[in-house]
Chains A and B, each alone.
Chain A
């Protein structure tokens, strides 16, 4: 890591990045209906301003060769040995995230102006969206684990508010609560990691922790790595905490694009990459990260194959793609850059895909069932082309974004040059095939084939305020990969954070990897065409299906497991305890009293009078005492 410089110039103002959208949220929430007319414009303007500022800060950072800037703000909590300063760290890693958040965030704000145009609560929507951007920026810009934690739970709140945006729908309200609770399970891990840091190192700042982590015992470092991983799994929808993310699709689609695809759910990847100095010291924790990444990659891809709800397919795709990112950062120094490149590329194409899905829903009266789509490419040409480019980028079509970034991850896995390298690489290649399958299925069911629209649906292309952001994101989906890998290499930009990239001796030549992955991808496309494209799509899902399909339709029974392991026993325990507390603990005390005073009901009646006079007695005594006191003092 290069030396931290005090922040001067624009970097000293980087706190404005957070303050601007936060102020926007405050104005919209406190201003009430007075701000209805222009609230969405203010919300968009503050995020756009943050983007410009982030760009300028990044340019200044590039000018000082990526030397990180530390911005001291104020003392947050200082007592005893604990000293938590509120401060920001603007380094190449946080710069990349700040650009992603404010850039994609601006585009999605613009899109939402159109998407939410007819919603009476549009102002509230923009307020929450601004709140999210502010919290997410705090998460990535904070210079300590406590600042990260504050942003971490802050984005959880924004996510809760936005999933429950249409809160009169019970499904939305329940999904929001589920997301918050499952995230909190992860947050316990993150909180405990911070406690361990304070107990062992006496500090929670990045500089302090990373500087001294080498002095810790191996077991402690592994514990830290695993606790942080628990937090990362909660936020990023990774196994075993993945079940909330698909339900989160109850929120408005721009929310799914920004929070549940491009930014918030990648916070877990950020956390692991940021904590690289910890993970570099613990092979065990890294192995667990790898295992979780690989497992989630498959779970998401398999579930994605079976759903008919367009947003759920994209959500499971997100779960699966973040699995790739976890796999990458789990590889350690060889994989950080590959994982982050995939994260950025994914931010572009998945946001674009969600916005496209929103555009389709907009055209189809909020229908999400792909069995009710079909033949839409004629009616929605812009949506079709931009969505199509995102699709190609995601499945790794040669020379589009996903091709570069996914291949880099597979190469890095194979470069381990051991059995596990082959296993992980194999899983990743298999995942690429599944990805091609479910995404082609989605394309075929939505845009091609016979129109299976419900009566009264007249699809129309979305207004340009919605299509323009889709076009920008489509361009990003096409170009981001090549840009990040070869033209403006991310590895060079992140060098001050992760050190100089080692020139790995490739076990398998990159060209061979590229060919194999492309072949598997094409197989997936072909399979989708054989199963879906060639036949008529029935408007209701077939009931008699193989156990594999049934399991996939239930997302491998994650909800059922959670319910039978935690929810039902929890409810049972709660009911039992309520009974115990009413009958047992309270009853024992009442019973004890009753033994002395006869039956407990008589006790109550008899003592009502007794206690009243006793109480007045105490009061009288107190008055006397006070009088005596005055007399004594006066005398």
Chain B
């Protein structure tokens, strides 16, 4: 097993799967679903195998493999996994099958085929794996850009009424970020060429460079802006509420759960170790963006009437916590930030899914169109509550551990920013519980309210009987077995990693410590 190219397989298997599904003739939806689910489960298995074989005390990058790609420019197809990338692979491995299960009976816009949707999902999975396991900066850049394509089509072809607008906006923002990063990638190559004699894109070689502080600042900004758009940090965030709300639910989950994490992953993997001086120089500025983002996006979440937009804004607020954890420059906070990336994918993923299940029933994304759902659909309400509590980082849920680590780890270095960020936990309780109360609690009302079938007229047909106003009650079915099967793994992970997060922390910490020593942190 140790010889298996697990990382390459995790890219190739879903990519081939995508091609197979895409090649299926139209109308073979059932086959497409089953193949897709099978492929995604294979990727999960590969991710688990990689984790089992991972030696937490060993080299930082494991299962490394490298093929020369463009020899003239020192580009190689180099793969490798460290603890940070590994937990992201696990997240991808878990979320994609869940998303496929959740999308099983999606109603797609007219003239859109299910086979195409699942093919794009699998291709997206391949690109997402690639972006985390690339150890060559150019290869990373290729995956970073290529990842946009399937997501663009997922939003633009299969999304809500304003999907075209949202997809274009998503694409333009990402493209601008990508182009800026490309310039920085090339700049980095030039620097390496002048320092080492021969240019390289290999991450391990680049992190040894001693780059002139002025040049560092420019290159840092190139990477940072691309990642800040991707993450996104305020004020680069306005594409996310549109994309998050217009994408089909499966797309929203992967967009916010995984794709956006490439931004925060990039901060930690590339910005900090490659440009340590610039990172220190810009840290106060980033911290301001992070804390403003936490509070600003939380307040905005409270003001939303569209549930999917609301969840998108909560994510922007959460990305602020992750950025705070990374730019506080302590092992505890950065480890917490990486854990946050995983936990947020699970918790917000579940929140998006359950919101999607509600929307599928009522046909509206508006909070005001629902009320009193808990009485008729207790399972849906229960899952909604668990997802919400995880989102507001209640102790006992996975998110508490990561939020706590980010805050307690940041406090010694950045007390003022941490105090401001901690206020965010009140706002988190507000935006979650407001949405929960309005949709789940209270008397029955909204779009699901329907008149009860007229009771059979009493024998004798009294005229008074017809004068009674028709009784109305909620028409809603509770979660189906399929929906429960989709939610259950995420609920279980929320609780298990809420009580016993240590295995994940042990995977993450060595890579974070290495990053901190690249940064020359006092820590």
A residues lining the B interface (CB < 8 Å):
29, 74-82, 146, 149-150, 152-154, 157, 160, 164, 167-170, 172-174, 176-177, 180-181, 184-185, 187-188, 191-192, 194-196, 198-199, 570, 573-575, 577-578, 581, 585-586, 589, 593, 604, 607-608, 611-612, 614-616, 618-619, 622, 625, 628-629, 632-633
Contact = CB atoms under 8 A, between A and B. Distances in A.
B335 interface: yes
Contacts of B429: 180-181, 184
Given A185-B426, A194-B408, A574 B433 contact: no
Contact of A157 (B394, B444, B500): B394
Contacts of B441: 164, 167-168, 170, 172-173
B443 A188 contact: no
B359 interface: no
B466 interface: no
A575 B407 CA distance: 28
A168 B375 contact: yes
Contact of B425 (A76, A168, A187, A628): A187
A604 B168 contact: yes
Nearest to B509: A79
Given A167-B374, A168-B441, A192-B419, A581 B238 contact: yes
Contact of A195 (B145, B304, B411): B411
Contacts of B61: none
Contacts of A82: 332, 405, 408-409
Interface in B130-150: 142, 145-146, 148-149
A82 B156 CA distance: 45
A622 B142 contact: yes
B171 interface: yes
Contact of B372 (A168, A185, A589): A168
Interface in B208-242: 234-235, 237-238
B395 interface: yes
Contacts of B443: 168, 170
B238 A629 contact: no
Contacts of A187: 425
Given A154-B395, A578-B304, A586 B238 contact: yes
A157 B432 CA distance: 13
Contacts of A173: 437, 441-442
A176 B152 CA distance: 42
A77 B404 contact: yes
Interface in B432-484: 433-434, 437, 440-444
Given A82-B409, A149-B395, A181-B430, A589 B437 contact: no
Contacts of B394: 153-154, 157
B370 interface: no
Contacts of A74: 500, 502
Nearest to B430: A181
Contacts, number: 178
Interface stretch (B95-103, B253-261, B274-282, B295-303): B295-303
Interface in B470-523: 500-502, 505, 508-509, 513, 523
Interface of B: 67-69, 77, 142, 145-146, 148-149, 152-153, 156, 164-165, 167-168, 171-172, 175, 234-235, 237-238, 296, 299-300, 302-304, 330-332, 335-336, 372, 374-375, 382, 389, 394-396, 400-401, 404-405, 407-409, 411-412, 415, 418-419, 422-423, 425-426, 429-430, 433-434, 437, 440-444, 500-502, 505, 508-509, 513, 523
Given A180-B429, A198-B411, A607-B168, A188 B423 contact: yes
Nearest to B69: A629
B509 A80 contact: yes
21 contacts: A29-B382, A76-B502, A77-B502, A78-B505, A79-B332, A79-B335, A82-B408, A160-B433, A167-B441, A168-B441, A170-B442, A177-B433, A187-B425, A195-B408, A195-B422, A199-B412, A577-B296, A581-B238, A611-B171, A618-B146, A633-B67
A417 to B, nearest CB: 39
A199 B411 contact: yes
Nearest to B508: A79
A463 B458 CA distance: 39
* Interface class of chain B by DSSP: helix
Nearest to A622: B146
Given A195-B418, A619-B146, A608 B168 contact: yes
Among B168, B396, B408, B443, chain A packs the most CB atoms within 10 A around the CB of B408
Contacts of B156: 612
Given A80-B523, A181-B429, A198 B405 contact: no
A586 B437 CA distance: 30
A42 B444 CA distance: 32
A173 B439 CA distance: 11
Q: Which of B330, B331, B332, B444 has the most CB of A within 10 A?
A: B332
A185 B400 CA distance: 16
Given A77-B502, A177-B433, A195-B411, 8 more contacts: A74-B502, A154-B395, A167-B441, A187-B425, A188-B422, A196-B411, A611-B167, A628-B69
Nearest to B68: A632
Nearest to A29: B382
B299 A573 contact: yes
* 10 cross-chain pairs, A with B, having the tightest CB-CB distances, nearest first: A80-B331, A173-B441, A150-B395, A578-B303, A586-B238, A195-B411, A80-B332, A199-B412, A574-B303, A167-B441
B299 A80 contact: no
Contacts of A177: 433-434, 437
B69 A154 contact: no
A180 B149 CA distance: 43
A188 B426 CA distance: 8
Contact of B142 (A157, A188, A612, A625): A625
A597 to B, nearest CB: 10
A585 B238 contact: yes
B145 A618 contact: yes
B415 A199 contact: yes
A177 B302 CA distance: 14
A157 B498 CA distance: 15
A248 to B, nearest CB: 15
Contacts of A195: 407-408, 411, 415, 418, 422
Contact of A622 (B149, B235, B332, B505): B149
Given A76-B502, A170-B442, A611 B372 contact: no
